[in-house]
Amino acid sequence: MTKTVYIKTVGCQMNVLDSEMVVADLKRHGYRVVDTPAEAELLLYNTCSIREQAEEKTYSALGKLRDTKARHPDKKIGVLGCMAQKDQEVIFRRAPFVDMVVGPGQLHSLPQLITNIDSGEGRQMAVSLARTDGKQATVARSHETFDPLRDPSMRPTPFQAYLRIQIGCDKFCTYCVVPNTRGPEQGRSPSEILSEARTLAEQGCREIVLLGQTVNSYRHRSEAGDTDLAGLLEQLHEIEGIDRLKFVTNYPKDMTERLLVTVRDLPKCSPYLHVPAQSGSDAVLKRMKRGYTVGDYMEMFERIERILPNAAVSSDFIVGFCGETDEDFQKSVQLIERCRFKNSFIFQYSVRGGTKAAERLEDDVPREVKAARNHELLEVQNRVAREDNEKLVGETVEVLVEGPSKKGEKSEPEAAAVQMTGRTHCDRIVVFDGNRRQAGQMLEVHVDDASSHTLIGRVRTVELVSIGIEANG
Ligand code: 5AD
Ligand code: SF4
């Protein structure tokens, strides 16, 4: 008998990938995925802890399940991911009807936990060790992944896939929970990564996005020698069927000449680099313990410009971090104006329990000031992005078509023209009128118009068609 599972995923690409793995695993245990909690026997919430708002949203979604559980006590509810690792027992206290709490390093144990509940053992918790619970190697071992289980039906599109090359983070930026929730940095072995990439190519995947919290710090040591990200890209480049390779997220200090030259020399590597700056002020960067100055960041940026002059660079910024003055904030504005990022994700600082900033620094920027700075920085970012996108009007770009855009999804299934969306090699979003069959194709699109987030174009007609008709006639 098939059992039913509903899974809701929030947060970063790591969580999207984790959910894919969880579903692949559960399918092997006889489960089928359904679209609504009402249809499901097993309800899973894969959660994020990066900011308080993300957690509160999850707690409020969980709160709504209180009645559901009262009416259907047989339904099982599981909280997975970073919030499970961070809050542990607190989740059972705040939502006593939850059956399972499973950290991101323990997701492989889910089928066993379900069996335990079914055998009457009561609610279950599986979390990894905290950083202070043992030696680095012991803690690292408790953060496991089970990546080779791939399920194309759970991916946003079947021809694009994430591939984890690194788990955890050792940078310990003072504001960030990730080194606690995802544990010590560990590079997966190149042979595992390559075999997974080959599986993905066989499943029809054309674009692979390599994932790591600081993906360019990737390193794997073995008797056969050390492998870094550049070495890994060289090996992945050989795989037939894969047309594009991207990697996120980068740490500014590890953006080496060797990596950039590799990206330049391997045509499948996208000239797209997400390298979060977080702030344009040295004083703030120091309190964040980011390990670089604005001068260092600019040096790295100029290296990118020299080696990859056509690369698109994107960034993350936190506004309203502890002690951030108006002057500090203006330096973030200036950094965006100097680097002209393709896009930036801008976040208001949110205190996270267990971090150095929470313990030692005062969250002294008022909420309204954070909101105003967020708004101002976004306006500057949107302006530079719009100006740069407008320069592409009149050009032809190569687009990997992902599927109907939000607007296209609303079209009738039989509609002649459907708005489709895809991305350029540089990760720019392009929409155009086309048809659903184009999903997964690489098309030449002429750019007619541009906004800060999107290029609007039309597929270039192949002129040979009319010659063909004449020849036949
Ligand atoms: N508050 C706000 N933003 C944060 N980020 C990480 N931790 C916090 C926090 N405590 C942002 C950083 C990071 C992105 C994924 O989330 O900009 O790059
Ligand atoms: Fe968090 Fe810093 Fe690690 Fe990124 S590099 S995951 S911001 S600690």
Give one DSSP letter per residue of 310-347, joined into a string. T-EEEEEEEES-TT--HHHHHHHHHHHHHH--S-EEEE
Q: Is 322 annotated as a binding residue?
A: no
Q: Tell me which ligand sits closest to the C-alpha of residue 361.
A: 1
Tell me whether strands 160-164 and 454-459 are parallel, antiparallel or unpaired.
Answer: unpaired
Where do the domains of the chain lie? 3-129, 155-270, 278-390, 396-459
* pLDDT tens, residue by residue, 259-301: 999 999 999 999 999 999 999 999 999 999 999 999 999 999 9
State the pTM of this model.
Answer: 0.93
- Whether 278-390 and 155-270 are alike in CATH topology: the answer is yes
Does 339 carry a binding-site annotation?
A: no
Q: Is 416 helix (H, G, I), strand (E, B) or coil?
A: coil
Q: What is the pLDDT of residue 357?
A: 98
Distance CA 275, CA 330 (A): 20
Q: Is 214 in the pocket of ligand 2 (CB under 6 A)?
A: yes
Distance, first Cα to last Cα, the chain: 59
pLDDT at 415: 82
Ligand 2 pocket check for 169: Cβ under 6 Å: yes
Above 90 in pLDDT, residue 472? no
Residue 321 — φ and ψ, nearest 5°?
Answer: -70, 160
Element (H, E) at 388: helix 367-390
* Ligand 2 centroid distance, CA of 422 (Å): 29
What are the tens digits of pLDDT across the range 32-51? 999 999 999 999 999 999 99
Which sign does the torsion angle of CA 232, 234, 239, 241 carry? Answer: positive
pLDDT tens per residue, range 407-418: 998 888 778 889
Q: Is 426 annotated as a binding residue?
A: no
The answer to whether the CB of 278 is under 6 A from ligand 1 is: yes
**What does pLDDT average to over the chain?**
94
Smallest CA-to-CA distance from 428 within 455, 404, 388 is with 455
CB neighbours (10 Å) of residue 251?
20
- Token pair, residue 130, equals 């905290």
Comparing CA positions, the residue from 191, 61, 84, 59 lying closest to residue 143 is 84
Query: pLDDT band for position 1 (50/70/90)?
Result: low
- Ligand 2 in reach of 213 Cβ (< 6 A): yes
Residue 430 CB burial class (10 angstroms; 0-12, 13-18, ≥19)? buried
Amino acid occupying residue 27? K
Is 3.40.50.12160 the CATH classification of the domain at 3-129? Answer: yes
Check if CATH label 3.30.2000 holds for domain 396-459.
Answer: no
Question: Measured between alpha carbons, how far is 142 from 469 in angstroms, rounded to an integer?
Answer: 65
User: Taking a C-beta distance cutoff of 8 angstroms, is the pair 186, 166 a contact?
Assistant: yes
Q: Kindly tell me if the per-residue pLDDT of 470 is higher than 70.
A: no
Ligand nearest to C-alpha 49: 1
Q: What is the pLDDT of residue 227?
A: 98
DSSP letter assigned to residue 460:
P
The Cβ of residue 472 has, within 10 Å, a number of other Cβ atoms equal to: 6
Phi, psi angles (nearest 5°) of residue 69:
-70, -35
Beta strand 42-47 with 76-81 is: parallel
Q: Is 332 in the pocket of ligand 1 (CB under 6 A)?
A: no
pLDDT tens profile 112-126:
999 999 999 999 999
Q: Please say whether the dihedral angle defined by the alpha carbons of residues 151, 152, 156 and 159, taken in this order, is positive or negative.
A: positive
Q: Is the pLDDT reported for residue 464 higher than 50?
A: no
Looking at residues 83-93, what average pLDDT do you find?
97
Rounded to 5 degrees, φ, ψ at 88 are 45, -115
Question: With 80 as the cut, is the pLDDT of residue 471 above it?
Answer: no
pLDDT over threshold 70, residue 467:
no
Q: What is the mean pLDDT of residues 398-422?
A: 91
For 190-248, how does the pLDDT look when each residue is reduced to its tens digit (9 = 90+)?
999 999 999 999 999 999 999 999 999 999 999 889 999 999 999 999 999 999 999 99
- Segment 314-370, tens digit of pLDDT: 999 999 999 999 999 999 999 999 999 999 999 999 999 999 999 999 999 999 999
Q: Is 205 annotated as a binding residue?
A: no
HEC string for 250-264: CCHHHCCHHHHHHHH
Lowest mean pLDDT among 144-148, 252-256, 439-443: 144-148
> Is the Cβ atom of 215 under 6 angstroms away from ligand 2?
no
Q: Say what the pLDDT of residue 127 is.
A: 96
Average pLDDT, integer, range 75-99: 97
The CATH number, out of the four listed (3.30.750.210, 3.20.20.70, 3.40.190.10, 3.40.630.30), of the domain defined by the range 155-270: 3.30.750.210
Tell me the two tokens of residue 204.
């029809």
Give Cα 294 distance to the centre of its chain. Answer: 25
Could you tell me if 449 and 456 are in contact, meaning their C-beta atoms sit under 8 angstroms apart?
yes
CATH of 278-390, one of 2.40.110.10, 3.40.50.261, 3.30.750.200, 3.30.1600.10: 3.30.750.200
The predicted pLDDT at position 414 comes to 78
pLDDT > 90: percent of the chain: 88
